């Protein structure tokens, strides 16, 4: 009997799409065949250096319908990103009986539940292993390997661009310069907001919450804090506190809701999250029975992501059935009980410490420590206050109070301090 061939239609021949063509060619898989590629400006794409990995008989097209309606396509691989018009394209593919493999984290975060239901109705696959952490197999690892546990919390680094920026700053680089480097390397877009302001990580956290916590949460309700306000002085103070700074995504079951947040946090050097550098991603799941499980690896770049895409295509080719556990819609709270780091830049004059202590005391926040480095002028004096645990909402009020002080040169910068031994709730 001849081996059945899975025929692939590819949407997008950019960084990941072209890398997928290379990975597929290198696999020499006889049961998987690339038949069609959709992209705008195909003549230009055909001159791409990775076009050499595309078989000569593949049909290139600038009409997406030529892939979605093709009789020689069994699975549509979508690597273009965005919500519209991509959602409509993938609905058309699923409705026509084609399986879908996607790396589109925004689509899965915002529209995933409806698309999963449609795929189940049509009896086809919808796989998205590349949507979180690039080549790190966290999606299949949680879905298959940890489905027997009751995961109470998921946390970690899920944006390789921010990790590249912050770990470079830890080594002494300037934020603006390292951002330009990240853009030059293709890690960050010309408009880096999705990465540095936390929107990309927020979508990925929602996908992980659905899978690990079985909680369907609206990405727009998850607070996201930018890393763009982090400066070199913050790393110097973090080091004094035995910490570093990373963009951390964290969601935890909290009764009938989920507490979730994305943003820069002080991470103790004893935490595995602090050990992740460059474009590495790291996800830590905390289970009731299995304890902490760590997934780590490269989360940005064409090749790592293409590996995850290829793995999903192989799963479709072999008709692998993923474990599907029901998720329910839950409310999100961004109000986290934690200690906080506050960096203030002030004009040095008598009574400043008392005024800041008074602003914190007004809202019931206790000071844990005060740090001040020597060598700064009186016109722009930076110093740091760390607090005992309080709610995020309380910290926001206290910071607003401090920002109104006439001695303040710039708005206070504040971050959550990650508590390593914080047990997951039952």
Judge if the upstream peptide bond of residue 362 is cis by omega within 30 degrees of 0: no
Q: Is residue 351 in some structural domain?
A: yes
pLDDT of residue 134: 85
* pLDDT > 90 in the chain, percent: 87
Compute the mean pLDDT over every residue in the chain, rounded to the nearest whole number.
Answer: 94
Asked whether residue 55 falls in the same domain as residue 143, the answer is no
pLDDT digit string, tens, across residues 190-226: 899 999 999 999 999 999 999 999 999 999 999 999 9
How far apart CA 8 and CA 98 sit, in angstroms, is: 10
Asked whether residue 328 falls in the same domain as residue 358, the answer is no
pLDDT of residue 324: 80
pLDDT of residue 424: 56
Asked whether residue 166 falls in the same domain as residue 213, the answer is yes
How far apart CA 319 and CA 71 sit, in angstroms, is: 19
How far apart CA 165 and CA 177 sit, in angstroms, is: 9
- Nearest alpha carbon to residue 189 among 410, 354, 15: 15
Q: Is residue 90 in some structural domain?
A: yes
3-state SS, the chain, equals CCCCCEEEEEECCCHHHHHHHHHHHHHCCCCEEEEEEECCCHHHHCCCHHHHHCCCCCEEECCCHHHHCCCCCCEEEECCCCCCCHHHHHHHHHHCCCEEEECCHHHHHHHHHHHHHHHHHHCCCEECHHHCCCCCCHHHHHHHHCCCCCEEEEEEECCHHHHHHHHHHHCCCCHHHHHHHHHHCCCCCCCCHHHHCCHHHHHHHHHHHHHHHCEECCHHHCCECCCCCCCHHHHHHHHHCCEEEEEEEEEEEECCEEEEEEEEEEEECCCHHHHCCCCEEEEEEEECCCEEEEEEEECCCHHHHHHHHHHHHHHHHCCCCCCCCCCEECEEECCCCECEEEEEEECCCCCHHHHHHHHHHHCCCCEEEEEECCCCCCCCEEEEEEECCECHHHHHHHHHHHHCCCCEEEEEEEEEECCCCCCCCC
For range 74-78, the mean pLDDT: 98
For range 60-76, the mean pLDDT: 98
pLDDT of residue 187: 81
Q: pLDDT at residue 138 above 50?
A: yes
Q: Among the options 98, 152, 204, 253, which is catalytic?
A: 204
Asked whether residue 115 falls in the same domain as residue 161, the answer is no
Q: Is residue 11 in some structural domain?
A: yes
Structure-derived torsion over alpha carbons of residues 212, 217, 221, 227, reported in degrees to the nearest 10? 30
The CATH number given to whatever domain includes residue 39 is 3.40.50.720
pLDDT of residue 418: 96
Asked whether residue 53 falls in the same domain as residue 158, the answer is no
Asked whether residue 143 falls in the same domain as residue 71, the answer is no
Asked whether residue 183 falls in the same domain as residue 261, the answer is yes
Specify the number of domains making up the chain.
3
Asked whether residue 281 falls in the same domain as residue 179, the answer is yes
pLDDT of residue 426: 46
- Using a 10 angstrom Cβ sphere, with 0-12 exposed, 13-18 middle and 19 or more buried, the burial of residue 338 is buried
* pLDDT > 70 in the chain, percent: 98
Asked whether residue 190 falls in the same domain as residue 85, the answer is no
Decide: 425 and 254 in contact? Cβ < 8 Å.
Answer: yes
- Nearest alpha carbon to residue 282 among 418, 149, 183, 171: 418
Asked whether residue 80 falls in the same domain as residue 168, the answer is no
Asked whether residue 92 falls in the same domain as residue 191, the answer is no
pLDDT of residue 234: 96
The CATH number given to whatever domain includes residue 243 is 3.30.360.10
Q: Is residue 316 in some structural domain?
A: no
Decide: 247 and 192 in contact? Cβ < 8 Å.
Answer: no
Domain enclosing residue 365, as ranges:
340-417
pLDDT digit string, tens, across residues 83-118: 999 999 999 999 999 999 999 999 999 999 999 999
pLDDT of residue 377: 82
pLDDT digit string, tens, across residues 282-307: 999 999 999 999 999 987 778 999 99
How far apart CA 382 and CA 231 sit, in angstroms, is: 11
Decide: 365 and 307 in contact? Cβ < 8 Å.
Answer: no
Active site residue 204: yes
For range 129-155, the mean pLDDT: 94
Q: Is residue 317 in some structural domain?
A: no
Which residues share a beta bridge with 265?
Answer: 246, 416
Q: pLDDT at residue 321 above 90?
A: no
pLDDT band at 1 (very low <50, low <70, confident <90, very high): very low
Question: Of 333, 351, 383, which residue sits at a domain end?
Answer: 333
pLDDT band at 270 (very low <50, low <70, confident <90, very high): very high
Asked whether residue 162 falls in the same domain as residue 293, the answer is yes
Query: Residue for token digits 């310069």?
Result: 177
Count of C-beta atoms within a 10 Å radius of residue 265: 26
pLDDT band at 186 (very low <50, low <70, confident <90, very high): confident
Q: Is residue 261 in some structural domain?
A: yes
pLDDT digit string, tens, across residues 341-350: 999 999 988 8
| Overall pTM surpassing 0.85 (yes/no) | yes
- Using a 10 angstrom Cβ sphere, with 0-12 exposed, 13-18 middle and 19 or more buried, the burial of residue 421 is exposed
What phi, psi does 278 have (nearest 5°)? 60, -140
How far apart CA 300 and CA 275 sit, in angstroms, is: 17
Decide: 252 and 139 in contact? Cβ < 8 Å.
Answer: no
The CATH number given to whatever domain includes residue 372 is 3.30.70.260
**Could you tell me the strand order of the sheet in which 6-11 lies?**
59-61, 32-38, 6-11, 75-78, 99-102, 126-127
Q: Is residue 365 in some structural domain?
A: yes
Question: Of 333, 353, 382, which residue sits at a domain end?
Answer: 333
Query: Residue for token digits 């035995």?
Result: 242
């Amino acid at each position: 009997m001849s081996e059945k061939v899975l025929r692939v239609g590819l949407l997008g021949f950019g960084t990941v799409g072209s890398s997928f063509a290379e990975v597929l060619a290198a696999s020499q898989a006889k049961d998987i065949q690339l038949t069609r590629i959709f992209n705008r400006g195909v003549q230009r794409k055909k001159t791409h250096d990775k076009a050499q990995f595309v078989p000569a008989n593949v049909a290139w097209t600038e009409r997406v319908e030529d892939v979605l309606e093709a009789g020689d396509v069994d699975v549509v691989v979508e690597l273009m990103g965005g919500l519209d018009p991509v959602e409509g394209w993938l609905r058309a593919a699923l409705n026509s009986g084609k399986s879908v493999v996607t790396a589109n984290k925004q689509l899965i975060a915002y529209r995933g539940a409806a698309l999963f239901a449609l795929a189940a109705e049509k009896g086809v696959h919808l796989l998205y292993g590349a949507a979180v952490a690039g080549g790190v197999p966290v999606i299949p690892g949680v879905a298959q390997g940890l489905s027997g546990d009751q995961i109470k919390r998921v946390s970690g680094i899920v944006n390789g661009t921010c990790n590249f920026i912050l770990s470079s700053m830890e080594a002494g680089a300037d934020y603006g310069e390292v951002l330009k480097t990240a853009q030059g390397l293709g890690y960050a877009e010309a408009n880096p907001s999705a990465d540095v302001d936390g929107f990309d990580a927020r979508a990925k956290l929602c996908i992980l919450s659905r899978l690990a916590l079985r909680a369907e949460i609206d990405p727009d309700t998850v607070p996201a804090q930018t890393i763009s306000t982090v400066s070199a002085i913050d790393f110097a103070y973090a080091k004094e506190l035995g910490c570093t700074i990373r963009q951390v995504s964290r969601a935890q079951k909290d009764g009938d809701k989920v507490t979730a947040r994305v943003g820069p946090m002080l991470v103790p050097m004893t935490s595995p999250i602090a050990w992740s550098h460059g474009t590495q991603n790291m996800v830590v799941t905390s289970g009731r029975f299995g304890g902490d499980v760590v997934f780590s690896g490269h989360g940005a770049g064409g090749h790592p992501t293409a590996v995850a895409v290829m793995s999903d295509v192989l799963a479709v080719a072999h008709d692998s059935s993923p474990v599907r556990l029901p998720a329910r819609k839950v409310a999100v709270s961004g109000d986290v009980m934690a200690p906080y780091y506050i960096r203030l830049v002030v004009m040095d004059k008598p009574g400043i410490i008392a005024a800041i202590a008074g602003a914190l005391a007004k809202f019931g926040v206790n000071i844990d420590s005060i740090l001040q480095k020597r060598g700064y002028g009186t016109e722009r004096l930076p110093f740091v206050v760390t607090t005992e645990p309080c709610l995020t909402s309380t910290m926001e009020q206290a910071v607003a109070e401090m920002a109104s002080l006439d001695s303040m040169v710039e708005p206070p910068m504040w971050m959550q301090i990650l508590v390593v031994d914080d047990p997951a709730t039952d």
